[in-house]
Amino acid sequence: MLFKASQDKEKMENSSVRKVLDSKGQVHIVTGELGRGGQGIVYKTNDPNVIIKMLVNELGLPTTDDKLKHSYEEKINRVKIVPFPKQVNIATPVDTLAPPHIGYTMQMLTGMIPLEKSMNHKEGSLSKSYLNTGGLKRRLLILKKLASILSYLQMNNLVYGDLSPNNVFVSGVFDQSEVWLIDPDNICDQLDFTNSVQTPGYSSPEVYSGSMPNTIYSDVYSFAVLAYELLTARHPFEGDRVINGGGWEDEGHDLYDLAYRGEIPWVDDPDDTSNAPIQGVGIPHKWVISPVMYDLFEKTFSYEGRKKPLTRPSMLEWHKCLSRAVKMVVTCEGCGSTYFLSNNCPFCDTNRKQVFFTTIKSLIKDEFDGNLWKTIETLVLDGLETGGKDTIKISSFVPRLAHEQDTDVVELFIKNDRLMVRNILRSNNLYVKVDDKYKNFSFEAFGRSGTISLAYRGESEFRYLTIDRV
């Protein structure tokens, strides 16, 4: 369910909200609406770094309820002193609004837009629209960063409360993936059992039905809904049964309401296909969701996940899974789309180019087990280019290999029958020792199949790098 404004938006646009005063007397000129949710409307102003949140009434118009103003301002003042972790990008309140309006101002990076705009695909080719809004890799990066933000909130016993595409802001430029949260007035302590805010379609079944307040587990559920929709361009519960109606037993029921309450299976349920995806709607989940990601979705959206919040995966599990997924994405030489490493591009069926899979291990000393090899980096080297018969250039970066610098580009080459690594940017060779059994490993053999093993001795530790053709 992509959140769209109702007819009330027209009423708001015809209202007289053009200038707003904050509590310090600063005048803010409203220049347009950024988004709206269950509690209020977010406006952009003539200052690109300032946005305004206003509470709305049941008609979707800015409210002026004096009784509400006092309690709401107390809530905002409490939020202003919350020690948010520095890793959390959140637009915190700056000042409350002066009467007659109820709300507050927030500071925001320039060029940020609601995530909803990246999810709202224009008419025409969905694949083209998907690519033009950043493709799979950008979506995975956004979700990885959002999972990180929510993880840090949860580690500090904080519940976000109302996660939806209108409360998540991302870079307006589609080759960037900055992520911020707005609406900090939704945030509460995880022991606060009175807070219950939601956006229907994104809230968990227990919050939607009113049986439980917002919790870290409802945040996880909302994240999963948003993630599935961002990746597949369809809602995880709006399938054939919900949209087109089921059998006689569904007559007289609001099927969207039943779905949001967790009474209807999700669209990719492996055991119940009664609410399967509608043919031609969205992107097949196997194109954009890895098997490990699917397991987390199933764990969240299964009957048990819908009914037992404590069984849902943690945000740390999501972050770990998405961090790995980002590294398993390659770029199609045919259409430019990004996709998971597979036989060919699912968007245009172009054959996959040869890529190399890399694992970097570090030798560590364990107090009980002695020396151990620990994997510190796993990634796909997308963009390997041959620079002649005896050179392989890695056009993407190999993090933490070259003297701890993420900005190094390394080049594999053969010299005197030995495989070597050169740091292109530093114009010097790394300290490389090649295992004896690969001493005569030629470029031709490397291009066909097999594994190259390198050993790199840094200033303080010894590392082992393997590169496999896949």
Top-confidence range, 8-12, 68-72, 268-272 = 268-272
CA distance 185 to 43: 16
* SS3 assignment, position 344: strand
Residue 100 has pLDDT above 50, yes or no: yes
Top-confidence range, 136-140, 191-195, 341-345 = 136-140
Mean pLDDT of 92-99: 90
Top-confidence range, 57-61, 376-380, 449-453 = 57-61
- Segment 253-268, tens digit of pLDDT: 899 999 999 999 999 9
- Single out the residue of 79, 291, 80 nearest to residue 192, CA to CA: 79
pLDDT confidence of residue 338: 92
pLDDT confidence of residue 449: 34
Residues 6+ apart with CB under 8 A from 302: 266, 269
Residue 423 has pLDDT above 70, yes or no: no
Residues 6+ apart with CB under 8 A from 353: 330, 333
User: In this structure, is the dihedral angle defined by the CA atoms of residues 345, 350, 351 and 357, taken in order, positive or negative?
Assistant: negative
CA distance 446 to 330: 20
Q: List, edge to edge, every strand of the sheet that includes 462-469.
A: 370-381, 356-366, 462-469, 451-457, 432-434
423 or 209, which is more confident: 209
Residue whose pair of structure tokens reads 């890695």 in the numeric block: 394
Q: How far is CA 238 from CA 210, 245, 268, 271, 277, in A?
A: 21, 11, 11, 17, 8
Mean pLDDT of 365-384: 57
Radius of gyration of the chain (CA): 26
Long-range contacts, stretch 289-293, CB < 8 angstroms, 24+ apart? 289/228, 289/231, 289/232, 290/321, 290/325, 290/328, 290/340, 292/321, 292/324, 292/325, 293/321, 293/322, 293/325
47-56, 76-85, 208-217: least confident range: 76-85
CA distance 50 to 86: 20
Long-range contacts, stretch 342-350, CB < 8 angstroms, 24+ apart? 346/284, 346/286, 346/287, 347/127, 347/130, 347/131, 347/287, 348/127
66 or 230, which is more confident: 230
pLDDT confidence of residue 426: 41
Residues pairing with 432 in the sheet? 456
298 or 132, which is more confident: 298
Residues 6+ apart with CB under 8 A from 90: 84, 149, 180, 181, 182, 184
H or E element, residue 33: strand 27-36
Is the bond preceding 100 in cis, omega lying within 30 degrees of 0?
yes
Residue 90 DSSP label: B
H or E element, residue 466: strand 462-469
Query: Is residue 417 very low, low, confident or very high in pLDDT (cuts 50, 70, 90)?
Result: very low
197 or 354, which is more confident: 197
Residue 393 has pLDDT above 80, yes or no: no
- Segment 289-318, tens digit of pLDDT: 999 999 999 999 999 999 999 999 999 999
Mean pLDDT of the chain: 76
Mean pLDDT of 137-150: 95
Q: Say what percent of the chain tops pLDDT 90.
A: 40
Question: Inter-axis angle of helices 216-232 and 291-301, to 10 degrees?
Answer: 130
Distance from chain centroid for Cα 101 = 33
90-104, 170-184, 328-342, 384-398: least confident range: 384-398
| Architecture of the domain whose range is 8-233+282-327 | Orthogonal Bundle (1.10)
- CB-based contact 109:49 (threshold 8 Å): yes
Q: Say what percent of the chain tops pLDDT 70.
A: 70
316 or 189, which is more confident: 316
**AA identity, residue 190:** Q
Report if pTM > 0.85. Answer: no
pLDDT confidence of residue 267: 97
Segments of 165-323 assigned E as strands = 168-171, 179-181, 188-189
Structure tokens, 318: 């999501």
Residue 399 has pLDDT above 50, yes or no: no
User: In this structure, is the dihedral angle defined by the CA atoms of residues 167, 172, 173 and 178, taken in order, positive or negative?
Assistant: negative
Query: Is residue 456 very low, low, confident or very high in pLDDT (cuts 50, 70, 90)?
Result: very low
pLDDT confidence of residue 251: 83
- CB-based contact 384:356 (threshold 8 Å): yes
H or E element, residue 117: helix 116-119
DSSP letters for 353-369: PP-EEEEEEEEEEETTT
Residue 90 has pLDDT above 60, yes or no: yes
Q: How far is CA 137 from CA 149, 193, 322, 348, 425, in A?
A: 19, 37, 10, 16, 26
* SS3 assignment, position 224: helix
pLDDT confidence of residue 62: 77
pLDDT confidence of residue 467: 52
Mean pLDDT of 80-107: 89
Q: Where do runs of H (alpha helix) occur along 233-360?
A: 240-244, 255-260, 285-288, 291-301, 303-307, 315-327
Mean pLDDT of 3-29: 64
Mean pLDDT of 206-231: 95
- Strand duo 356-366 + 462-469: pairing: antiparallel
Residue 413 has pLDDT above 60, yes or no: no
Any idea where the domains of the chain sit in the sequence? 8-233+282-327, 354-469
Residue 38 burial (C-beta neighbours within 10 Å; 0-12, 13-18, 19+): middle
Structure tokens, 317: 């599990």
pLDDT confidence of residue 381: 55
Neighbouring CB atoms inside 10 A of 55's CB total: 20
